[in-house]
Structure formats: structure tokens, C-alpha cells
Amino acid sequence: MLSHAHILHGSPTHGHSRLHGESTTGDAVQTNDPSRFSLPSLFRSQAACNSTIHCTTALFLHFSGCGGTTFVRYMKTLPFLFAPTSGVSSPNLNMGCAAGTGYQALGLANVKDTRCPCEDLWRRAEHYNFWANENVVRAPLDCERVEYWVVIRHPIERLISRLFKPGAHGRLHFLQFDEMQAALNRTVVFAPSSSRHEFTGSAALNNWMVRSIAGPDVYRLPLGGVELEHLRRAERQLDRFAIVLPLANMSLLPAMLFLRYGKCVQALPPDTAQTNGGHSASSETIRAQKERALQNGEFMGSLWWHNALDLRLYESAQRLFHRRLWKGIDSLTPSQRRTAAACASLAQALAARN
């Protein structure tokens, strides 16, 4: 176990590390009391956990198209994580009041005004210490004794992979091309449909990650309504997450787990970073549509313009990841470095720093 001095924490704010539950102006604040619940721990046994504030549970914020399915599949193999079974959660371990994508099927206009309460997490955390949430806009955030993990992908790459996911009969799975164009030209809300997933309307094609992390009030803004202040809110939230991992750096997840929790875990499969959200099937028809879209300067220019703040959020996530990785490695004591060197899955990170 690493000492607290060598465990990675979010960046200090105003000269001290932010505690779970604290919030800056404009951010969601959760005030419920977790002490009523017996939470399992990422660090120790259930029996040892019931009496200490260091008992925590982890919530994976699953952005669709960011390798989350692969991430969850890997996490299920770790012996210190206790995840819900298939009878309790979805295959991607979604669980809780904001776990599914039901809000997405209802359309942008019906997104609820508030996030789910922390109590929703704590009640389930009496039985599990890891699960996921694929409805980031309503996920309970800033909850005490909850560690938040997220994987973020380059927003244009993510959008292209999702928009051109194959559907039935040679059609696109979520939106057809004319619907994409309409959603980029004016604020639209699509008719409710469970097949839409996150594509409720224009919000899903316009700084979707900033909207989702910043919360329901930002998610519901029209095209052009998401501004720099909302990016800053999302960046502050990222800074409070325990693990922020760019998809391109997925192979370094074992290093982040070691630096945060002192756990040596097995390496990920070598092709993990090339995942397409766990869904890589395609067809000649879809590939042809995708190629035409990539060559359409007006469409691609609009896509980049409408996701300028998501691009900046992604760059912030990259900087945060590398700062935490190098700071964590540099702060290892000689004894901890020897322990890390004996962990095969950390070889890449240690070699890159040397």
C-alpha cells in the first residue's frame, strides 16, 4: 500500500486538496451523509471498512464510444473490485437511478433538472465497490467516499465512430446523415426512441462531454449556448475525479491504479487503445457513407466548430493525466519504486519516465 503522501490526488485548489463533496460556485453540491451506510472498500476488507472514513467505492463514468465496454471488461478481472452481477446491472455494469440511457430516449427537452442524489450511490455501495454509469449528465457527482473514474476520447474521433456505427439493413445505427446535418444547423430534439441512445438531438453533436460533465442545466442549452464558463466547470470537475484516462493512454491504466491504490494488476490487451467502444463491426455500405462524410468539408467543418470546447476539455484531460502520471512516478520512494519495477504491467510507464 502506498502512503497517503504518494497516492495521486486531484490538483490542489486555493492551496489545499479539495475534499469530496466540496464544490466551486456553479458546480453541483451534494450534502447527504454517507455515515449511515456500510460501504465496501477499494483498499481493505468489508469488515475492516465499516469503521473508517477511508472506505470508498468507485464509479466509472462511461462515455459511449470511449472504450468503456473494454474498460469494464478489464475491471471485472481485478480481484479487489466487487462488481454487480448480470442479474443486478447491465452487461456494462450500469446501475442506479442514472445508470441507463432512458433519459436519452426521452429527448433533450425532458432531461431532468438535477443530478441523482449521492444516497443512490451509497445504498448500492453497501454491496459493491465498482460499477458504471452511462448517463453522465445525471450521475451523482462530488459524493463523499466515492472515487470517480473516466475515460475520454478525442471528441471528433468519438463522434465519427458513433455516428457511423452500422445498423440494420445497411443503415446507420443512431442517426441518418440528413439528421446529423439538421442537428448541426439548428437546435433540434429528436422524437423519443430507445434506439437513439445518447443522440437526443443537437446536444449530442455539440460539446456533448462538456454538457454532460457540467450538468443538466448546461446539457439543455441550445446550439451556441455552451460557453467558456461551462468548459471551466467541466474542467474543475475533471480535476476532482480520481482517474482521468485518455483512450489513447488506456495501456497505462495499470500504472494509474498502482499510483492511486498501490495495486499491481495485469496489463491490458495490446490493442486496447484501438477499441471502437467495444463495437467494431462495419459494412461496405457504412464505410462508404463514412468516407463521403469525411470528405465533406462543410459537414466536417461544422462538426469541429460545434465541438471546440470538447476538444479543449480533451486537451485538459491529457494534461491532467500526464501531470498525475509523472508526478506520481517521481514521488515514489526507493522502496516503492522497487515494488513498481517488479510489476510487469508498470514497465511501460517506468521506462518512459527514465
More confident residue, 70 or 125: 70
CA distance 151 to 326: 18
Task: Say if residue 96's pLDDT is above 80.
Answer: no
pLDDT of residue 35: 58
234 three-class SS: helix
Q: What are phi and psi of 41, to 5 degrees?
A: -130, 145
Give the C-alpha separation, 107 to 67, whole Å: 24
103's torsion region: left (phi>0), alpha (psi -120 to 50) or beta?
alpha
**In 3-state terms, what secondary structure has residue 250?**
helix
What is the gyration radius of the CA atoms in the chain, in angstroms?
Answer: 20
Which segments of the chain does DSSP mark as H helices, in order? 46-49, 68-75, 102-106, 118-125, 155-163, 177-185, 208-214, 216-219, 228-240, 253-261, 284-294, 297-305, 308-330, 334-341, 347-353
Q: Give the alpha-carbon dihedral of 306, 215, 166, 300, to 10 degrees.
A: 10
| Cα–Cα distance, 239 to 316 (Å, whole number) | 9
With both helix axes pointing from N to C terminus, report the angle between 297-305 and 177-185 in degrees, rounded to the nearest 10. Answer: 50
Q: Are 39 and 144 a contacting pair, CB within 8 Å? A: no
User: Residue 59's beta-bridge partner residues?
Assistant: 131, 148
CA count, 13 A, side-chain hemisphere, 63: 27
pLDDT digit string, tens, across residues 72-84: 989 888 888 888 8
Q: At what angle do helices 297-305 and 155-163 cross, to 10 degrees?
A: 130
Please name the residue that has the C-alpha cell 453533436.
205
pLDDT digits (tens, 9 = 90+) for 194-208: 667 788 889 999 999
pLDDT digits over 98-119, tens only? 665 544 434 444 555 678 888 8
pTM of the model: 0.82
State the amino acid at position 158 in one-letter form.
Answer: R
How do residues 300-347 score in pLDDT, each as one tens digit? 999 999 999 999 999 999 999 999 999 999 999 998 888 888 888 887
Domain ranges of the chain: 47-266+281-352
